[in-house]
Structure 1
Amino acid sequence: MSTLGWIALTLGSALLGVHYGIAPVWAAWGQLAAGVVLVVAGVWSVLRGRQHLTPVLTGLQGLPADERIVLFLRSFKDDDGFSQVAALRWFRLLFTSMLPTPAHLRTEEDQVARAVAPFGRMVALGRPSDRLPRLGAERSYASDATWQAEVLAALDHAALVLLVTGAGRSLAWEVDQVVGRDEPARLVLLVSRDRRQYEHFREALGDHFPNGLPHYPPARVRHRLLRGRYVRAAIWFDGDWTPHWEMLDGRFPLIGLARRTQRALPRALQEVYRRAGVPARVPRTTPRPWAVKLSVPLLAAFWLGPLVWSVVAIGALGGRSHAPAGGFSPSLAPPSGDLPAAGHNTVLDLLLTGWPLWLWAAVVAAFAYRTWRGGPYAVTVARLQGVAFPVFLLALVVSLALSPQGWLMFLPLAGLALVMAHQGLYWLFSLGLVLLVLGVVGMPVATTLLIRRDVREWIDSRL
């Protein structure tokens, strides 16, 4: 399901990103509708596939005593909010043409789990009615008779306790147990949803905390623009239970929204990380798959192949143009303006005057580097290119079949091939043919490689 979901996401994003000005209105609307349906279906399939792959704990009491864990306590009513993903937000369709990357398929709870990963893996009790486990904390499912014992066992050796400010009798009991242990340095409150939910929690349970809880601060324009999707703030405590309110705001509007909670939480809890002596991020240990190592050269060959061949061709043809007139038939020689004048270093001239080409080479190099490093946007764009390019070739072939005069644009290339043949530059023609094949075949192959499960897991580990 996850693989099929990414295929649907890639096809849908390609449909949303390619527009044909000459297409009928009904065709354009049909393409838009098909793209949206494929993207939404792809997101659902990826998330559902990940739920099927999520392990379920046999119990919190059976966790190894020496394992560091983070206990995630919340009301089951908050599960839907913590399951939100950025890819299904309506304004992403407006601002980014629905180009979902792996980062945009991270749930709020998953982002929280990644943010606190230096403290240990995040565990929680699951709602008994769940058909599949939620994405984020690893869940154990307990009965009404055993759930309290499960929570107490996890509290005994949790390195950090995250408690979401919600409502419910079960949550009130959990607050009593956490505060009763008198270890404020291990507790962080997550303020979710809105002001109303927090104020209800504060009125109902605020007096359980020795120094109370702060009021929800007045809403500011900055907070409205930079706030996260569901988790709004965090509260941490000093040793005497003095609370500290930290808003989980991003740094720029609409930038980094996909992982805003994951990035904002460590910034807000710097003192908590420092006191515990843990880093702000877990080191990356997943090795780079061979599919990525192969796909990056294929992508580079597609985008840099014409540039490399042009430089080699200009140098080779320029060198041959300096040969005696008997080197090839004057009747087949190109006009004097088509080749560089004798006595000039044609490659050096290209280096000096062809700066747009080298700027393009720098852009391609940066793109290849980001793909090599597992950048979610770069990998997503590479997937889209691998789908869009064969479609473009097919449309070009159909267009040429319907308009034979379109083949005239290939006459300059045919003339260049004749020049190379008469000058004996068969190796240059072979090089161009190899680069052409790499470009045409390499893009779809690279896309197939980048959708592999080991590649997805490697990218996921780097988010």
Structure 2
Amino acid sequence: MIEQTPLQGRRLSALGWVALTLGSGCLGIRYGSATAWGSWGLLAAGVILVVAGVWAVLRGRQHLTPVLTSLQGLPADERVVLFLRAFSDDPGFSRVAALRWFRLLFTSLLPTPAHLRTEEDQVGRAVAPFGRMVALGRPSDRLPRLGAERSYASDETWRTEVLAALDRAALVLLVAGAGRSLAWEVDQVVGRDAPTRLVLVVSRDRDQYGRFRESLGDRFPNGLPDYPPARMRHRLLRGRYVRAAIWFDGDWTPHWEMLDGRFPLIGLARRTQRALPRALRTVYQRADVPARLTPTTPRPWAVKLSVPLIAAFWLIPLALPVLAVILADAVNAAVNAALSGPSGAPAGTGTGASGDSFTIGHNNVLDLLSTAWPMWLWMAVVAACGYRVWRGGPYVIMMARIQGVFVPVYLLAFILATLPAYARLAFVTLGLLVLVVLSMPVAAMLLIRRDVRDWVDSRL
């Protein structure tokens, strides 16, 4: 029986992302610790926080994911994708990239919503142009799995549910597994003689596909292909759980496609989601659907506000040297003008001195701007990062969250340590420093909002 609590789901999701932000920050600064014990402590704290955060986010999503009352009651004008599999495959399809042990131990894991997508969720997003992916859930589930939207039926009604969805599905995904129920589903799919609507998903390993082919391969009019020999390319580029896909021509001729990535260790978080449309290009073209849906979620106001706050944090310190030169030259011009007045010099002399001082100050500023090329380079980097935040870049947004927590702490400690020196600065400069310290924490809080997380997730 499903026991969802939406309020608990929202709390778990928010706390999970806070833990992920803190944990990623600990993993990122562990090498800066002064002692070996401090480095190991930060590593342990980071791993614990990241694992706990991943668990909390995934559990929160389970509380929030929709549950269908019935596959028969779906809107008549809505396109759906029917996901058929043995319940024993559910744990494998629930794997996520964020919990791969080598990423936690040997890299500073920077988790994004893509790293928290299950294999089933990736499959569902890949076939989203065909419609909403639906499935029957295991009756013993307490919370729904992440991926296909599930309906929970009894032993007496589940066949009726499958048949109702099968008759209207724009695409049928059948996972090559084992079980008597799956055998019945294979018979129903093949009996409808619609091979162009069927994709056979090969998961787990060669042995599972071999058992499926041996027991049910003869149900397909032209049989099923052999599992190809293992190659080094496939070992390096294969997905987390989903290995291949088989699509069919109108006469049931099967075509085997390996779901490999393009580069080793790159794009692991969305390897299945990206590889599936590439492998099934003919299926997409035949159905006249795009390989990917265009995101329609509007940009949240929190993202619009966070971009100038982040820019202020990184660019205002660059303006302080220029401001200091301008203030120093202004004071110098005022002093020269004051000294020239009582000396009895002509009025034109005082004006000339002031004009010379202004010219000198103007030249000082130009010299500073022309020689400080790293400042221009840094401004370009900040502009590029701000643009990526504006566009919903998951890595840059996660970096902004981490920086919003950790960088102001170091900056505030530095300011407090040198307070007497800063106390002599002008009031405007102190106000700018306060803005710098506060802008990133505010931006971090904005970027961790649920509407921002959902917006970033919709663009992946």
Tell me, yes or no, whether TM beats 0.5. Answer: yes
**Structure 1 residue 352: deviation in Å?**
3.2
- Please say if 1:450 is aligned against 2:447: yes
Contact 1:115/1:281 (8 A) holds in 2: yes
In 2: Cα distance, 1:430 partner to 1:396 partner? 19
1:342 match: secondary structure: helix
For the residues of structure 1 that align with 2:413 and 2:335, how far apart are their CA atoms? 45
The one-letter code matched in structure 2 to 1:271 is T
Q: How does 1:267-346 map to 2 (within 5 A)?
A: 267-315=278-326, 317=328, 325-326=336-337, 342=360, 345-346=363-364
Partner SS for 2:170: strand
Contact 1:12 1:36 in 2 (8 A): yes
Write out per-residue CA displacement over residues 144-180 of structure 1, whole angstroms, 9 at most, x where no aligned residue.
1111110000011100000111111111111111111
Match of 1:386 in 2: 404
Give the aligned partner of residue 198 of structure 1: 209
1:108 deviates by: 0.6
Q: Which one of 326, 333, 353 corresponds to residue 371 of structure 2? A: 353
The one-letter code sitting in structure 1 at the alignment partner of 2:433 is: L
Cα shift readout 1:396-425 (whole Å, capped 9, x = no counterpart): 478x4xxxxxx49x75x677x4xxxxxxxx
**What's the secondary structure of 1:191's corresponding residue?**
strand
Contact 1:13 1:39 in 2 (8 A): yes
CA contact (8 A) 2:325 2:361 kept: no
Measured in 2, the distance between the counterparts of 1:343 and 1:54 equals: 63
Distance 1:32 1:95 in 2: 10
Tell me the distance in 2 between the aligned counterparts of 1:385 and 1:202. Answer: 52
Are 1:48 and 2:84 an aligned pair? no
Q: Which amino acid aligns with 1:121?
A: R
Deviation string for 1:261-289 (max 9, x for gaps)?
Answer: 11111111111111111111111111111
The SS at the match of 1:273 is helix
| Partners of 2:30 and 2:38 within 8 A in 1 | no
1:441 and 2:438 correspond: yes
SS in 2 for 1:130: coil
Q: Partners of 1:328 and 1:157 in 2: how far apart? A: 92
Query: Is the CA contact 1:307–1:357 (under 8 Å) kept in the aligned structure 2?
Result: yes
Distance in 2, Cα, partners of 1:21 & 1:138 = 45
Shift of 1:431: 4.4
Q: CA deviation at 1:19?
A: 2.8
Q: Does the residue aligned with 1:71 lie in a helix, a strand or coil? A: strand
Corresponding residue of 1:374: 392
Q: Partners of 1:44 and 1:146 in 2: how far apart?
A: 33
Deviation at 1:205, TM superposition (A): 1.1
Cα separation, 2, equivalents of 1:197 and 1:115: 23
Q: Secondary structure at the match of 1:18?
A: helix
Structure 2 gaps of 5+ residues are: 1-11, 341-356
CA–CA separation in structure 2 for the residues paired with 1:139 and 1:327: 82
Contact 1:321 1:342 in 2 (8 A): no
> Which deviations, in whole Å up to 9, do the C-alpha atoms of 1:121-141 show, x marking residues without a partner?
000000011110000000000
* Residues 302, 435 of structure 1: 8 Å contact kept: no
Q: Secondary structure at the match of 2:257?
A: strand
Match of 1:130 in 2: 141
In the aligned structure 1, how far is the partner of 2:39 from the partner of 2:107? 18
Give the structure 2 partner of residue 229 of structure 1: 240
Cα distance in 2, alignment partners of residues 112 and 5 from structure 1 = 24
Q: Is the 8 A contact 2:330 2:361 kept in 1?
A: no
CA deviations on 1:329-355 (whole Å, 9 max, x unpaired) are: 9xxxxxxxxx99938734443443222
- 226-235 vs 301-310, greater mean Cα deviation: 301-310
Pick closer, same or farther for the CA change 1:396–1:305 going to 2, 3 Å.
Answer: closer
- Whether 2:249 is the aligned partner of 1:238: answer yes
- Structure 1: stretches of 5+ with no match in the other structure: 330-338, 401-406, 418-428
User: What letter corresponds to residue 451 of structure 1 in structure 2?
Assistant: I
Per the alignment, residue 227 of structure 2 pairs with 216
Q: Does structure 1 residue 182 correspond to structure 2 residue 200?
A: no
Aligned residues: 433
Q: Which SS does the other structure have where 2:156 is aligned? A: coil
- Cα distance in 2 for residues equivalent to 1:395 and 1:370: 29
Q: Retained in 1: the 8 A contact 2:238–2:259? A: yes
User: Match for residue 100 of structure 2?
Assistant: 89
Residue of structure 1 equivalent to 2:20:
9
CA contact (8 A) 1:299 1:368 kept: yes
In structure 2, the CA distance between the partners of 1:73 and 1:209, relative to structure 1 (3 Å rule), is same
Deviates more, 1:184-193 or 1:307-316: 307-316
Aligned-CA RMSD value: 2.3
Task: Pick closer, same or farther for the CA change 1:19–1:394 going to 2, 3 Å.
Answer: farther
Equivalent residue, structure 2, for 1:255: 266
Instruction: Provide the rounded CA distance (Å) in 2 between the counterparts of 1:219 and 1:190.
Output: 18
1:424 counterpart residue number: none
Q: Is the 8 A contact 2:33 2:39 kept in 1?
A: no
SS in 1 for 2:360: coil
- Tell me, in whole angstroms, the C-alpha distance in 2 between the residues paired with 1:2 and 1:462: 19
**3-state SS of the aligned residue for 2:67?**
coil
Q: Is the 8 A contact 2:303 2:452 kept in 1?
A: yes
Tell me the CA shift for residue 243 of structure 1.
Answer: 1.0
Which residue is equivalent to 1:170?
A: 181
Give 1:318 shift.
Answer: 5.2
Q: For the structure 1 residues 60 and 172, does the alpha-carbon distance in structure 2 shift closer, same or farther, using more than 3 Å as the test?
A: same
Question: 1:105: how far off?
Answer: 0.5
Q: Residues 264 and 319 from structure 1, CA distance in 2 versus in 1: closer, same or farther, beyond 3 angstroms?
A: farther
Range that drifts further, 47-56 or 244-253? 244-253
- CA offset digits 1:303-327 (Å, max 9, x no partner): 1111233334445645776788346
State whether residues 30 and 43 of structure 2, in contact with CA within 8 Å, keep that contact through their aligned partners in structure 1: no
Inter-partner Cα distance in structure 2 for 1:289 and 1:12: 26
Tell me how far apart the structure 2 counterparts of residues 99 and 307 of structure 1 sit (CA, whole Å). 28
| Residue 80, structure 1, aligned to residue 98, structure 2 | no
Contact 2:300 2:451 in 1 (8 A): yes
2:132 is matched with 121
How far apart are 1:244 and its partner, in Å?
1.1
Task: Tell me, in whole angstroms, the C-alpha distance in 2 between the residues paired with 1:352 and 1:278.
Answer: 53
Distance 1:202 1:22, change over 3 A: closer
Post-superposition shift, 1:9? Answer: 1.0
